[in-house]
Amino acid sequence: MTAKMTYLDWAATTPLYEESSRAMQPYLATGAAHFPCGGNANSLHSIGRTAFKALEDARASVARDLHAARPSEIIFTSGATEANNAALKGIVSACMKRAQQEGKRDFVPHIIVSAIEHDSVLAPARRLKAEGCELTILKVDNNGFISEEVFCAALQENTVLASIQMANNEIGTVQSIARLAAHSHAVGAFFYTDAVQSLGKLEVNLAQLGIDAASFSAHKFGGPKGVGVLYLKTRTPFDAFLVGGGQEEARRSGTQNVCGIAGLAAACAYATASQAEEQQRLMSLRDYLYEKLTTRTTVFPSVAIEANSTQFLPNVVNVCVEGFESETLILHLDRAGFAVSGGSACSAHSLKPSHVLQAIRIPDARALCSLRISFGRYTTQGDIDAFLAVFFEFLGGEKE
Ligand code: PMP
């Protein structure tokens, strides 16, 4: 690894924030003297009750920061992949049981997702289809937006769930979640959103969004990896995905990761408190980078982002670079001290074009040349300038 790396891959994961690290320190201490923080939150003794209090304090703090109606609506999970799987399978299964109890013996549940969902939504949706559900995968426009007309036309009498991400991890498109949720409710369907990329970058106010469930992942907003949240509004039908010891009110069994959860809550507090200011700061970096990159005739923006647009994440720029495959670009930039991505980190080892870029109709040959630059709290204008200088030198040819 180069001595000093400039990290421009914040959509893949963020560095751990000081606030989060500090909140976890008591749980990382070793030895009997520090044991109170190492208790199992489900034990009856005082050591367990200390851990339980930390767990419930974290839950209350996250609920407050996200404007959930009750702390019990916050379920801690191992991350967003688990939350997404649990939500899709859990809500659909409970809706199916409910229909059967109402005497609809042949009820076939219908679910809606968009073509640009993360794989952790698409894969469980496809699994549900294989198990007999009806599935509609909605097309998006060339900038990744789902039109309300297209969404409404897809809603059916048997639609039980629509799962539409709040913001896309590759191209940054932000959907009109509150409106789509209202359309779903009008036909009696539940609405779920993968809000992983939004927290800290966009306002996330669960009371205003009017959704039934959502996922979050701590490592995308300065917390540790391997811990996340499934928000489940009270009275949303849900069959637990992980069953066993009955933790999290029997909605997610397994001994809670109190250390990680304390880190998640501290990161969530920072992310929500700094969001409005950070969105503006990141947006000016995004607009600057976008403008500079697109002065090159061989660099094509994957989506058209207008300056100051809040319809896209403030911290993601995705371009396709004619003549250079993603891998070549990433490895060259890595050697030069810059960490960037070709798209989603989850599919970084795949040589197939991204399903998101395909869905916005970028030809495969061009989609294989994509580059995603994403930034965050510690990124400065100097970092962006340094990146541009190295990148343009690599491209050679035209002068700015
Ligand atoms: N959804 C989106 C939009 C993501 O970007 C990611 C992470 N790449 C996930 C879900 C999965 O989150 P986790 O890493 O917590 O499993």
Integer Cα distance of 37 and 86 in angstroms: 29
Nearest CA-CA partner of 285 in 390, 374, 393: 374
C-beta atoms surrounding 161 within 10 Å: 27
Residue 97's H or E segment, with its range, is helix 80-101
In angstroms, rounded to a whole number, what is the distance separating the alpha carbons of residues 36 and 47? 5
The closest-lying atom of ligand 1 relative to the alpha carbon of residue 218 is 15
Q: Is the CB of 117 under 6 A from ligand 1?
A: no
Cα 118 to middle of ligand 1, angstroms: 7
Instruction: Give the pLDDT score at 38.
Output: 79
CA distance 118 to 322: 26
The alpha carbon torsion through 139, 371, 289, 378 (nearest 10 deg) reads 100
Which residue among 81, 170, 257, 341 is best mutated to probe the pocket of ligand 1, counting the most ligand atoms within 8 A of its Cβ?
A: 81
Q: What pLDDT, on a 0 to 100 scale, did the predictor assign at position 119?
A: 97
Q: Dump strand ranges (E) for 25-171.
A: 74-77, 110-114, 134-138, 159-163
Q: What are the φ/ψ torsions at residue 8 (nearest 5 degrees)?
A: -125, 45
Task: Please give the pLDDT value at position 375.
Answer: 98
- In the numeric block, which tokens belong to residue 202? 């966009």
Q: What is the secondary structure of 116-153 as a DSSP string?
A: TS-HHHHHHHHHHHHTT-EEEEE---TTSPPPHHHHHH
Q: Beta strands 159-163 and 190-194: pairing type?
A: parallel
Ligand 1 pocket: which of 117, 171, 341, 346 to mutate (most atoms within 8 A of CB): 346
Q: Is the CB of 169 under 6 A from ligand 1?
A: yes
Q: Is 8 helix (H, G, I), strand (E, B) or coil?
A: coil
Query: Whose C-alpha lies nearest to ligand 1, atom 10?
Result: 80
Ligand 1 atom at shortest distance from the alpha carbon of 81: 16
Q: What pTM does this model have?
A: 0.96
User: Contact 163/137 with Cβ under 8 angstroms?
Assistant: no
Residue 93 near residue 166 (C-beta atoms within 8 A): no
Separation between Cα atoms, residue 229 and residue 381, nearest integer Å = 32
Please choose from 10, 170, 196 the residue to mutate so as to test ligand 1's pocket, defined by most ligand atoms within 8 A of CB.
196
Distance (Å, whole) CA 26 – CA 20:
12
Distance CA 136, CA 54 (A): 42
Q: Given this model, what pLDDT does residue 396 score?
A: 87
Ligand 1 atom closest to Cα of 344?
8
Neighbours of 356 (CB within 10 A): 28
Catalytic residue among 133, 152, 268, 346: 346
Could you give the CA distance from residue 133 to residue 127 in angstroms, rounded to a whole number?
A: 9
Residue 196 CA, ligand 1 centroid: distance in Å: 6
Tell me the mean pLDDT per 10 residues along the chain, length 400. Answer: 84 98 91 72 91 96 98 98 98 96 95 98 98 98 98 98 98 98 98 98 98 98 98 98 96 97 98 98 98 96 98 98 94 97 67 93 95 98 98 79
Determine the distance separating the centroid of ligand 1 and the alpha carbon of 100, expressed in angstroms: 33
How confident is the model at residue 29, as a pLDDT? Answer: 82
Ligand 1 center–CA 117 separation, angstroms: 10
Can you list the alpha helix ranges (DSSP code H) found in 235-257? Answer: 247-250
Strands (E) across 23-141 are located at 74-77, 110-114, 134-138
Between the CA of 282 and the centroid of ligand 1 the distance, in Å, is 21
**Active-site residue, 37 included:** no
pLDDT at residue 135, rounded to an integer: 98
- 175 CB within 6 A, ligand 1: no
